[in-house]
Structure 1
Amino acid sequence: MEFKSWLKRFVLEHGLLISWLIAFTATLGSLYFSEIVGFIPCEYCWYQRILMYPLAVILAIATVRKDIRVYVYVLPLSISGGSISLFHYLNQKVTFLHELGAACGPIPCNIEYINWFGFVTIPFMALVAFILVTIIHLSLYYVQRSENK
């Protein structure tokens, strides 16, 4: 079997489940950090949550229904969430943007509650989740589009 056809089949069969698992894990992770560890979310974290939590629900429903056309709803959320996560991460790590986060609200957006390996912060983890969901759903879009030709 050719790799390209194997990849198409894999994305069609497992893409929804994998993207739901990513969104669900990100949702549980954010709840763990705030409710169990006690990290108070900053304003940018709330925006990311507003975009990630519905993804977990939408993708759960789409997975059960095997609705690969859910990319219509998922991509705007995942791309917007990834953009906010990227800005938040850069706000933490880039010196001239670091000052913007100090005036973010009661909790500064440039605070790094965790900094694993010198680069893994909470916004970085959210960014990775949003990027993975986006890649999977762009793949679903292209696979579905190529099969309808």
Structure 2
Amino acid sequence: MSQPQKSSNLLWTTLFLCWLTAMIATLGSLFFSEIMFFPPCVMCWYQRICMYPLAVIFLVALFSNDKSVFKYAMPLVLLGLFFAIYHNLLYFGIVPETLAPCSQGVSCTSDYINWFGFITIQLLSLVSFVIIFLLLLFLKRKAS
């Protein structure tokens, strides 16, 4: 396999993994709110605002083999990652709930799911943003 083809395959695979992660996160959040009827808190909405467009951005980048996706996807990922980290800090009580934007409605520390004693909706969001962040860093490094 030639070097350009190998590089193109690596780009496609990385973009596919970014898209797959964003789609699973998007569909998962929709499942929790629309099927399981778990109302999203304010922090969840902020993270959704960052994640949902990523599913479309990565799909377009995947089909156009766009190496420059880093510069327009990374700002959304960083913003979503910030919200996800803050949300987890709220959930685990590291940041006091008085600093939560969820003053009305659903609490940012609601515990709708708790698989294996530690997997929560807040953690699932954080993991999704971290995976996409790491994949984009890998993509940037390989594209340079």
TM over 0.5: yes
Q: Give the aligned residue type for 1:135.
A: L
Q: TM-score, length-normalised on structure 1?
A: 0.85
Partner of 2:115: 116
Check whether the contact 1:82–1:131 (CA below 8 A) recurs between aligned residues: yes
2:11–2:67 CA contact under 8 A, matched in 1: yes
For these two proteins, the number of residue pairs brought into alignment is 139
**Distance between the aligned counterparts of 1:127 and 1:106, measured in 2?**
22
How has the CA–CA distance of structure 1 residues 65 and 93 changed in structure 2, closer, same or farther, with 3 Å as cutoff? same
Task: Specify the alignment match of 2:3 in structure 1.
Answer: none
Assess if the C-alpha contact under 8 Å between 2:19 and 2:55 holds in 1: yes
Rounded to whole Å, the distance in 1 between the matches of 2:102 and 2:14 is: 39
Quote how far apart the aligned CAs of 1:101 are: 3.9
Gaps of 5+ in 1: 1-6
CA distance 1:105–1:10, shift in 2 (3 Å): farther
Summarize the alignment of residues 55-134 of structure 1 with structure 2, pairs less than 5 Å apart. Answer: 55-94=54-93, 97-101=96-100, 103-134=102-133
Change (3 A) 1:10 1:104: farther
Cα distance in structure 2, aligned partners of 1:26 and 1:72:
21
Between the aligned partners of 2:95 and 2:79, the Cα distance in structure 1 is: 23
Residues 104/10 of structure 1: CA separation in 2 closer, same or farther (3 Å cut): farther
| Residue 102 to residue 23, structure 1, CA distance change in 2 (3 Å) | closer
Distance in 1, matches of 2:95 and 2:22, equals: 31
Cα separation, 2, equivalents of 1:46 and 1:71: 23
Task: Please list every run of 5 or more consecutive structure 2 residues that lacks an aligned counterpart in the other structure.
Answer: 1-5
1:14-33 residue pairs with structure 2 within 5 A? 14-33=13-32
Question: Aligned partners of 2:73, 2:95: CA distance in 1, in Å?
Answer: 32
Instruction: Measure the CA separation in 2 of the matches of 1:131 and 1:74.
Output: 13
Residues 11 and 65, structure 2, Cα contact 8 Å, conserved in 1: no
The structure carrying a bigger helix percent of its residues is 1
RMSD: 2.0
TM score, norm. by length of structure 2: 0.88
Percent identical pairs in the alignment equals: 40
